Structure 1
Amino acid sequence: MKSAVILLTLYFAGAYSQQSCDHPPKDWCSSWEIAKACKVEQQCIDYYSHKDLKKSNEPPVQVEVYYESYCGGCRKFVLLQLFPTWLMLNDIMNVTLVPYGNAQEKNVSGKWEFTCQHGPDECYVNTVEACVMHHLKNIESYFLVISCIEFSSNLTSALEPCLAAYEPELAVKTVMDCVNGDLGNKLMHQNAMKTDALNPPHEYVPWVVINGKHTDSLQERATSALFNLICEYYSGPKPEACSEKEVTPLKRNNVCLA
């Protein structure tokens, strides 16, 4: 099956596709836009998870992404690199998302207060995403919701429609109780500590760590051709998708400096 680097440009513009499915079944998983139009998003994830992959004891490639929800460069990285790569290669990679980025925290009377680079709305959405991850736990569930939020035109109001579309069993109230309560505060403090513990310290976001390492070279490769990098780093039997070499470059200046 011909694979493509999946461009979620309609999401990034905040427009959700309303078109009917006028594509033949063989093309349903060729792009995320088509998968969404044909309402087979989860089936496509399952397809790429199991297609022609030999069982291996080799560990998956570990990918950690430190980001902030309102950073344009972060959103483009998820749009053009991380999500489509994960969609096709999720059996050979583990993704950890850490929403915090260039924020700052201080302890005020026993509670953490956060100041975010792009203002209070960013702090709010960072916490929403942390709470969604906490409650859904499994990336196969929460990555769809996080991606939906990140590619919305109005991030602060995206939670309800994104949960309705992808995880309707998780109540908006459950997430908001986390966001507004001690749990959300704790989760964001944990993300702050993870981010502050980076070695070397992050200088911008998105900040990508591959198998526990960050170098300028790895960052450059991850943000220009993550798909190829994951295929190269995985030491087990390669999935068929790795024979494809289509990538979408992300310019290095699409970052948010610390």
Structure 2
Amino acid sequence: MNIFILFLIPYVAFAKLEIEIFGLAKCPHTNILFKNQLGPFFAKKNHQKLADDVKIDWHIIPTGTKQVNGKVVATCPHGTLECELAKFQACAKKYSNFTTGIVTVSCIQGGKLEDIEKCLENHEKREEIRNCGVSQHGEDLLFGEHMMRSKIAPNSYHIPWVQINGERNTEAETDFFKIICGFQQMKNTCSSTSQ
């Protein structure tokens, strides 16, 4: 009996599913991932919590930073608008539960600043997100996303970048739910309603 328990413990630890998604606010490929897959899927699942052994996190990132008047400011490959949108996305992530956050971020993704009001109109924390998105706090959150990328995906040279249990999965970058719905931990989430 004791031998069985010793073998069971490593298996249980390995059974956790950790998914990290990195994207850019104006990147056409990130737009497809968020607007065509993540947003619609989780909008249908808004009522449902992910299983305890599943962690999905997303990071809308800048690609660098610079100092302006003694403060850290994000830099983005698609210009200033991309960084402005990314700040609102980082703020939506902070002030939302998982599914509401990913739906809101998907709505903002690839858009214009004028689109943000529409994306926030039904959000219970819309004022906090609005204020955060135009503040240094939003800039700091975006910098935090940049640092997270450096820490957990330092070799991520292609965006979007999807890691499953610490390893890049290129197929998940284009067909996210085909891949993650193949994991046992996602069976209930994926099968409760059709995509």
Does the alignment reach a TM-score above 0.5? yes
Instruction: State the secondary structure of the residue aligned to 1:239.
Output: helix
TM-score (norm 2): 0.75
CA contact 2:161–2:173 (8 Å) conserved in 1:
no
Q: Which of 114, 129, 133 in structure 1 is aligned with 2:93? A: 133
Give the match for residue 239 of structure 1. 188
Give the match for residue 41 of structure 1. none
Q: Which of 126, 148, 156 in structure 2 is aligned with 1:202? A: 156
TM-score (norm 1): 0.59
Q: Percent identity?
A: 24
CA contact 2:33–2:174 (8 Å) conserved in 1:
no
Give the match for residue 170 of structure 1. 125
Per-residue deviation, 1:90: 6.1
Once the two structures are superposed, residues 211-250 of structure 1 have per-residue CA deviations (whole angstroms, 9 ceiling, x without a partner) of: 2222xxx21x2034322321322358x338459998xxxx
Q: Distance in 2 between matches of 1:177 and 1:204?
A: 31
Q: Which of 80, 83, 86 in structure 2 is aligned with 1:123? A: 83
Q: Distance in 2 between matches of 1:73 and 1:79?
A: 10
Give the match for residue 166 of structure 2. 212
Instruction: State the secondary structure of the residue aligned to 1:208.
Output: strand
What residue identity is the alignment partner of 2:29? G
Larger mean Cα displacement after TM superposition, 103-112 or 84-93: 84-93
Structure 2, unaligned stretches of length 5 or more? Answer: 1-13
Count the aligned residue pairs.
178
Per-residue deviation, 1:68: 0.8
Q: Distance in 2 between matches of 1:128 and 1:147?
A: 11
Instruction: State the secondary structure of the residue aligned to 1:205.
Output: coil
Once the two structures are superposed, residues 157-176 of structure 1 have per-residue CA deviations (whole angstroms, 9 ceiling, x without a partner) of: 11111111x31x3234x323
Give the match for residue 222 of structure 1. 172
CA contact 2:60–2:145 (8 Å) conserved in 1:
yes
Confirm or deny that 1:184 pairs with 2:184: no
CA contact 1:61–1:230 (8 Å) conserved in 2:
no
1:26-65 alignment runs, 5 A limit: 61-65=17-21
Q: Distance in 1 between matches of 2:138 and 2:106?
A: 20
CA contact 1:105–1:114 (8 Å) conserved in 2:
yes
Per-residue deviation, 1:190: 0.6
What residue identity is the alignment partner of 2:166? G
Q: Distance in 1 between matches of 2:160 and 2:190?
A: 25
CA contact 1:60–1:91 (8 Å) conserved in 2:
no
Per-residue deviation, 1:201: 1.1
